[in-house]
């Protein structure tokens, strides 16, 4: 009996394939006989890669590339973003005065962030309306103010990173767009 060169299983002398792993042993026998007649070492035969394709699947698929529809960073010049990042941050930090400074700067990147900051200011005024109602209105206003504060922090971080993204939640409100 001989052993399988792949898994080490005992197989019959006249077997063409291993019963355990299915590797062809006739190729290995031919290689052994060739090595016996020719003492020079020869590289082992490499298995041919087989395309694994499931039923109904295309042989090649393009990689999926995610593109955020709310990310407008590519629309702006990289030099504009680098030069005016501080003014974009000021639009969020200093409220209406920061918005005016960003509009006066006049670059597309600062105007984008000035519009976003203006949307945050309008939303802050709108969330004051429920505060007319005692207790429940105060609770709703407090929760909305906390959410608006988080949105403002996210906007400041995006401006620091040089991103020009539409604000979450606020950009989905139609009349603030």
CB-based contacts of 97, cutoff 8 Å, min separation 6: none
Q: What is the pLDDT of residue 128?
A: 94
Tokens for 61?
Answer: 């698929």
| Cα–Cα distance, 166 to 73 (Å, whole number) | 10
**pLDDT at residue number 170:** 86
Residue ranges of the chain whose pLDDT lies below 70: 27-61, 175-177
Per-residue confidence (pLDDT) for residue 23, from 0 to 100: 75
- pLDDT of the residue at 49: 55
92 closest CA partner among 107, 65, 112, 72: 112
Per-residue pLDDT reduced to its tens digit, 57-69: 556 667 777 788 8
pLDDT score for 131: 92
Q: What is the pLDDT of residue 20?
A: 74
What would the pLDDT profile of 67-76 be if each residue is shown by its tens digit?
888 888 899 9
């Amino acid at each position: 009996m001989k052993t399988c060169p792949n898994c080490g299983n005992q197989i019959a002398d006249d077997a063409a394939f291993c019963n355990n792993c299915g590797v062809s042993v006739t190729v290995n026998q031919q290689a052994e006989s060739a090595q016996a007649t020719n003492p020079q070492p020869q590289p082992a035969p490499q298995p041919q890669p087989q395309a694994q394709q499931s039923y109904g699947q295309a042989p090649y698929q393009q990689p999926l590339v995610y593109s955020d529809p709310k990310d407008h960073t590519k629309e702006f010049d990289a030099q504009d973003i680098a030069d005016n990042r501080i003014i974009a941050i000021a639009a969020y930090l200093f409220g209406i005065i920061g918005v005016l400074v960003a509009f006066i700067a006049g670059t597309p990147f600062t105007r984008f962030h000035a519009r976003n900051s203006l949307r945050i200011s309008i939303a802050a005024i709108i969330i004051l309306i429920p505060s007319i109602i005692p207790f429940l209105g105060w609770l709703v206003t407090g929760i909305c103010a906390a959410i608006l504060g988080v949105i403002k922090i996210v906007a400041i971080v995006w401006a620091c990173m040089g991103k020009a993204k539409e604000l979450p939640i606020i950009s989905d409100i139609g009349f603030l767009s």
